[in-house]
């Protein structure tokens, strides 16, 4: 009871809606009565409603940049018919409808499409239609697959859009934009589009968000043009492409992980705390299996971001970073020495895990 009251007070102080999840995903409920959650894409006059359990891009600044740039790459005309695959809540679909003649959004999760349909009506957008379909194995007899499209936007989950790419090739689209959350599956899909399906790569880049304007580096999105549209465009990759470092979901490699790791564009594997159970498990699961075509120096395993301290605690027995700060508050010299020793141990053991020099 005391915890609930503290959470209510915290929510009121910081103007937050707090939801609790005592069990499975179906148990999520608001701590207090809550208004609908929504975010706004002001450039396109669109407001999108969502639930706490829905997938959204949580960085609103980055999401606005991403949607704006994706539409700039796609360049829909006012009479174009656009196909948005893996459309979710309509994050790209509804802004596209403000620019194109008609947009068809396809999603495998019927719950998300129910929400996107409500949002379409709330935004008074009439030139959008939504359909539920399995995009990992598209049924070619579905009516929406029989239509020609001028543009296609892909925004798949981390496994990529491989199952939908033959449909993209048959659609007649003159331009395709692929937005990805996983550089490994993006590299694979790009290879299929260019080398097997006759598209030309126009540009590639990634979104990063900081206090300065967004910067662009390769590996997170691409624009491709159909070979039928052979105007005098040059490749516009901003910097040279180096080996990609990718992550995997669990503590063992599944078939999709192995396929991605064999791709020639992938140079190594990032390990997070979710990938670690013991040194023996890391050795058995990953040693010699990451990027077998590359030398060990190009296939390190490492940690990244906020998961680093958790990984280090579990694998090396290092203390949480808060302990280092507390020690520094008590004795600055002792705190600095403890931090130095922890850093030395982490570096030494990481070299042992990575197999790199």
Question: Which are the catalytic amino acids?
Answer: 181
Please give, one letter per residue, the 3-state secondary structure of the chain.
Answer: CHHHHHHHHHHHHHCCCCEECCCCHHHCEECCCCCCEEEEEHHHCEEEEECCCCCCCCCHHHHHHHHHHHHHHHCCCCCCEEEEECCCCCCCHHHHHCCCCEEEEEECCHHHHHHHHHHHHHCCCCCEEEEECCCCCCCCCCHHHHCCCCEEEECCCCCCCHHHHHHHHHCCCCEEEEECCCHHHHHHHHHHHHHHCCEEEEEEECCCCCCCCCCCCCCCEEEEEECCCCCCCCCCCCCCCCCEEEECCCCCCCHHHHHHHCCCCEEEEECCHHHCCCHHHHHHHHCCCCCCCCCHHHCCEECCCCHHHHHHHHHHCCCCHHHHHHHHHHCHHHHHHHHHHHHHHHHHHHHHHHCCC
Q: Report residue 31: phi and psi, to 5°.
A: -65, -40
């Amino acid at each position: 009871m005391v915890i609930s009251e503290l959470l209510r007070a915290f929510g009121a102080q910081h103007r937050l809606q707090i939801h609790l999840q005592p069990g499975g995903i179906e148990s999520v409920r608001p701590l207090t009565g809550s208004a609908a959650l929504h975010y706004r894409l002001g450039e396109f006059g669109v407001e999108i409603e969502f639930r706490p359990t829905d997938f959204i891009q949580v960085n609103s600044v980055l999401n606005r940049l991403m949607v704006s740039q994706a539409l700039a790459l796609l360049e829909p005309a006012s009479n174009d018919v656009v196909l948005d695959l893996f459309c979710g809540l309509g994050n790209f679909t509804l802004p596209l409808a403000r620019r194109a003649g008609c947009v068809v959004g396809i999603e495998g999760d019927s719950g998300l499409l129910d929400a996107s349909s409500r949002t379409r009506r709330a935004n008074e957008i009439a030139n959008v239609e939504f359909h539920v379909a399995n995009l990992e194995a598209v049924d070619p007899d579905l009516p929406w697959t029989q239509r020609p499209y001028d543009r296609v936007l892909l925004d798949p989950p981390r496994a990529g859009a491989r199952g939908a790419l033959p449909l993209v090739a048959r659609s007649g689209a003159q331009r395709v934009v692929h937005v990805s959350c996983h550089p490994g599956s993006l590299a694979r899909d790009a290879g299929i589009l260019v080398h097997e399906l006759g598209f030309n790569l126009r540009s590639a880049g990634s979104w990063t968000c900081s206090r300065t304007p967004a910067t662009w580096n390769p590996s997170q999105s691409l624009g491709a043009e159909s070979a039928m549209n052979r105007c005098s465009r040059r490749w516009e990759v901003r910097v040279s492409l180096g080996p990609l470092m990718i992550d995997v979901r669990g503590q063992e490699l599944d078939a999709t992980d192995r396929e991605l790791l064999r791709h020639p564009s992938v140079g190594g594997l990032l390990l997070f705390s979710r990938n670690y159970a013991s040194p023996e498990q890391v050795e058995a699961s990953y040693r010699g299996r990451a990027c077998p075509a590359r030398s060990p120096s190009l296939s390190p395993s490492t940690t990244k971001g906020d998961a680093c301290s958790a990984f280090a605690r579990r694998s090396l027995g290092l203390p949480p970073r808060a302990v280092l700060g507390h020690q520094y508050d008590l004795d600055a010299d002792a705190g600095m020495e403890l931090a130095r020793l922890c850093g030395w141990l982490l570096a030494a053991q990481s070299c042992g895990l990575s197999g790199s020099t």
